[in-house]
């Protein structure tokens, strides 16, 4: 009897010890790594090795990492790190996988099986922003998306792999309307044929609606009407009440997330979980891109991290308490990204691994505990003229092709450069290219053209005109 009793006590103690140990473990996990993930994009030619990069991701205490492929070197290095990993099927493999189960099986066998479970692959994303591309061929891909997801999922299931969620990241342009949030609605060209089957798949498989969501973009498109604090999730001074739902918003991110919730609800899927596959704020940009600075980037990301690591989870006005797995974009500044200057400045780290600004990914650090940030100087949109000229240090040999390209666009773009005309002299490639870039950009900026020319061009507020040669400009 005694023995029995003491035996029971021992068991009880064992259980208590185990519970205590377990709670220590979960507690220390909470301390060690965060619920926050980092997007590890590699579109740079000056980035540290995957080995060093993963060291940085670990030392930043990220809990997850998302890559844009299934690079075997990276996946091998991630084994045993404890990081939860999100991998991706490239867009150009979707149509084959959609049409052939053997190819789906091969993809999983080649890219998942060699690494799983040592590498904790948890999300398998099929494509990247597939519904944002709209050439005829891209449109075909829209309708291959869900079939490809089903096949990948079937492959995983046949291998008895049950803890990898299959999803696909979509951008906010999948919505036809997002304001007010209660008016959120998917685009009519994808709503019935793509979104309904997608939501059905996500609901049945208890996967996530992965969303790339950037308050920076709507704010920077309309900085005079949207409060910057509201876009940065800072303070509650400015609020917005949705007349349709009566819900009160204190920040633009919640508003954008809820517009997707309302759109899903309209199609009959109110309970699909959300994950933020990308968000962030650029820390540098061009003259015509207000608000891209270190100050705003740090404030946005810190506020985001604090919100998404809160325990219990905060959620959104439409989904209070919802836990939203979140990935910050991006680990590095990536110098090989095209488009406006901001595109190359989303990094938490410089290419050499030094932080652009501090951000505690555990979300424990209060704003007052950080060092002070550089004062933002471009929060108000620039007003005046801008020209687009050859960047300093450009190799003249590289200017020929973009010069010809710029001159071949538009109406009389380079008329002033022909012999005898006002900008012909000095006869220098740099001079002619600067004129051509300015003239091209002045005609096409309103249609979305950027002053970039693969990094060979920069914006300037200093008028390059000389004598009778007047450079066309963009007026903001
Ligand atoms: C599917 O792909 C495999 C491997 O390339 C190929 O052998 C097979 O013929 C394909 N099946 C169909 C139905 O196209
Ligand atoms: C979504 O999934 C839930 C839980 O499995 C289920 O109860 C519900 O009927 C599903 N919704 C739809 C529209 O299929
Ligand atoms: C060029 O000029 C013509 C006639 O003025 C006009 O119809 C056309 O839209 C212009 N094209 C561009 C690219 O500005």
- pLDDT, residue 22, reads 39
Q: How confident is the model at residue 52 (pLDDT cuts 50, 70, 90)?
A: very high
Give me the mean pLDDT over the 410-432 stretch: 96
Which protein residues touch ligand 2 with a CB less than 6 Å away?
203, 268-269
Q: Is residue 1 part of a domain?
A: no
Instruction: Identify whether residues 406 and 287 lie together within a single domain.
Output: no
Indicate if ligand 1 lies below 6 Å from the C-beta of 23: no
Q: To test the ligand 2 pocket, which listed residue (196, 203, 269) has its Cβ within 8 A of the most ligand atoms? A: 203
Which ligand neighbours the alpha carbon of 268 most closely? Answer: 2
Give me the mean pLDDT over the 305-330 stretch: 97
Whether the bond between 251 and the residue before it is cis, its omega within 30 degrees of 0, is no
Q: Is the pLDDT of residue 462 over 70?
A: yes
pLDDT tens figures, 256-311: 999 999 999 999 999 999 999 999 999 999 999 999 999 999 999 999 999 999 99
- pLDDT, residue 16, reads 39
Q: To test the ligand 3 pocket, which listed residue (411, 415, 449) has its Cβ within 8 A of the most ligand atoms? A: 411
CA of 411 to the centre of ligand 3 (A): 6
- pLDDT, residue 172, reads 98
Instruction: Identify whether residues 183 and 266 lie together within a single domain.
Output: yes
Q: How far apart (Å, rounded) are the C-alpha atoms in residues 442 and 235?
A: 39
- pLDDT, residue 330, reads 97
Task: From 320, 345, 369, give the residue that closes a domain.
Answer: 369
CA of 91 to the centre of ligand 1 (A): 19
Pick from 212, 87, 92: which is nearest to 156 by CA? 87
Q: Is residue 149 part of a domain?
A: yes
Residue whose CA is at the smallest distance from ligand 1 atom 6: 102
Instruction: Identify whether residues 355 and 395 lie together within a single domain.
Output: no
- pLDDT, residue 33, reads 59
CA of 319 to the centre of ligand 2 (A): 17
Q: Is residue 65 part of a domain?
A: yes
Residue whose CA is at the smallest distance from ligand 3 atom 12: 410
Pick from 102, 107, 204: which is nearest to 146 by CA? 204
Instruction: Identify whether residues 365 and 389 lie together within a single domain.
Output: no
- pLDDT, residue 456, reads 93
Give me the mean pLDDT over the 46-58 stretch: 97
Residue with the bigger pLDDT between 133 and 9: it is 133
Q: Is the pLDDT of residue 18 over 50?
A: no
Residue whose CA is at the smallest distance from ligand 3 atom 6: 411
Q: Is residue 3 part of a domain?
A: no
Q: To test the ligand 2 pocket, which listed residue (198, 199, 204) has its Cβ within 8 A of the most ligand atoms? A: 204
Q: Is residue 125 part of a domain?
A: yes
- Average pLDDT of the chain to the nearest whole number: 92
Nearest atom in ligand 2 to 272's CA: 1
Q: pTM of whole model > 0.85?
A: yes
Which ligand neighbours the alpha carbon of 202 most closely? Answer: 2
Instruction: Identify whether residues 429 and 362 lie together within a single domain.
Output: no
Task: From 369, 399, 434, give the residue that closes a domain.
Answer: 369
Instruction: Identify whether residues 322 and 351 lie together within a single domain.
Output: yes
Give me the mean pLDDT over the 387-391 stretch: 97
Task: From 316, 336, 369, give the residue that closes a domain.
Answer: 369
Which ligand neighbours the alpha carbon of 413 most closely? Answer: 3
Residue whose CA is at the smallest distance from ligand 2 atom 1: 203
Q: Number of structural domains, the chain?
A: 2
Residue 98 sits in a domain of what CATH number? 3.20.20.80
Instruction: Identify whether residues 359 and 417 lie together within a single domain.
Output: no
Q: Is residue 315 part of a domain?
A: yes
Q: Is residue 376 part of a domain?
A: no
* Catalytic residue list contains 129: yes
Instruction: Identify whether residues 439 and 354 lie together within a single domain.
Output: no
Q: Is the pLDDT of residue 17 over 70?
A: no
Instruction: Identify whether residues 423 and 447 lie together within a single domain.
Output: yes
Which residue in 140, 278, 341, 366 is the catalytic one? 278
- Range of weakest confidence among 31-45, 123-137, 138-152, 162-176: 31-45
Query: Domain residues for 176?
Result: 9-369
Instruction: Identify whether residues 124 and 204 lie together within a single domain.
Output: yes
Instruction: Identify whether residues 400 and 365 lie together within a single domain.
Output: no
Q: How confident is the model at residue 7 (pLDDT cuts 50, 70, 90)?
A: very low
Q: Is residue 181 part of a domain?
A: yes
- pLDDT, residue 312, reads 94
Give me the mean pLDDT over the 87-101 stretch: 98
- pLDDT, residue 188, reads 97
Which protein residues touch ligand 3 with a CB less than 6 Å away?
410-411, 443
CA of 303 to the centre of ligand 2 (A): 33
- pLDDT, residue 49, reads 97
Q: Look up residue 377 and give its two tokens.
A: 């100087």
Strand order across the 385-390 sheet: 457-460, 385-390, 474-475
Residue whose CA is at the smallest distance from ligand 3 atom 3: 411
Instruction: Identify whether residues 32 and 87 lie together within a single domain.
Output: yes
Q: How far apart (Å, rounded) are the C-alpha atoms in residues 416 and 433?
A: 12
pLDDT tens figures, 205-232: 999 999 999 999 999 999 999 999 999 9
CA of 441 to the centre of ligand 3 (A): 15
Nearest atom in ligand 3 to 410's CA: 13
């Amino acid at each position: 009897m005694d023995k029995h009793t003491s035996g029971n006590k021992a068991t009880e103690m064992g259980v208590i010890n185990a519970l205590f140990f377990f709670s220590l473990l979960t507690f220390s996990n909470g301390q060690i790594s965060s619920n926050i993930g980092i997007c590890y994009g590699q579109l740079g030619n000056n980035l540290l090795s995957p080995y060093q990069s993963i060291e940085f991701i670990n030392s930043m205490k990220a809990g997850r990492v998302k890559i844009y492929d299934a690079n075997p070197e990276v996946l091998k290095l991630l084994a045993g790190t404890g990081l939860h990993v999100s991998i991706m099927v490239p867009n150009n493999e979707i149509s084959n996988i959609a049409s052939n189960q053997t190819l789906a099986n091969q993809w999983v066998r080649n890219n998942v099986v060699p690494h799983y479970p040592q590498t904790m692959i948890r999300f398998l994303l099929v494509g990247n922003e597939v519904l944002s591309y709209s050439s005829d061929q891209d449109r075909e891909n829209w309708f291959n998306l869900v079939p490809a997801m089903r096949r990948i999922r079937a492959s995983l299931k046949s291998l008895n792999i049950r803890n990898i969620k299959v999803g696909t990241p979509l951008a906010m342009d999948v919505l036809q309307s997002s304001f007010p949030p209660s008016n959120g609605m998917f685009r009519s060209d994808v709503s019935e044929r793509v979104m309904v089957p997608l939501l059905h798949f996500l609901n049945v498989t208890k996967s996530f609606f992965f969303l790339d969501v950037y308050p920076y973009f709507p704010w920077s498109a309309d900085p005079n009407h949207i409060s910057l604090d509201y876009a940065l999730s800072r303070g509650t001074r400015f609020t917005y009440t949705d007349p349709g739902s009566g819900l009160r918003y204190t920040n633009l991110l919640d508003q954008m997330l809820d517009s997707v919730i309302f759109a899903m609800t309209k199609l009959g899927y109110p309970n699909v979980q959300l994950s933020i596959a990308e968000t962030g704020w650029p820390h540098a940009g061009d003259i015509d891109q207000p608000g891209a600075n270190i100050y705003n980037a740090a404030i946005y990301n810190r506020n985001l991290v604090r919100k998404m690591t809160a325990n219990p989870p905060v959620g959104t006005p439409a989904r209070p308490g919802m836990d939203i797995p979140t990935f910050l974009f991006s680990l590095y500044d990536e110098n090989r990204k095209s488009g406006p200057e901001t595109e190359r400045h989303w990094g938490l780290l410089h290419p050499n691994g030094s932080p652009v600004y501090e951000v505690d990914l555990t979300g424990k650090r209060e704003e007052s505990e950080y060092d002070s940030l550089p004062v933002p100087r471009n929060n108000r949109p620039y007003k005046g003229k801008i020209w687009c000229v050859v960047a300093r240090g450009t190799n003249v040999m590289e200017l020929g092709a973009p010069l010809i390209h710029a001159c071949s666009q538009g109406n009389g773009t380079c008329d002033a450069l022909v012999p005898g005309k006002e900008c012909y002299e000095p006869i220098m490639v740099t001079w002619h290219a600067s004129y051509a870039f300015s003239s091209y950009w002045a005609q096409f900026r309103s249609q979305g053209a950027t002053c970039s020319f693969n990094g060979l061009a920069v914006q300037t507020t200093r008028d390059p005109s000389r004598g009778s040669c007047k450079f066309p400009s963009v007026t903001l």
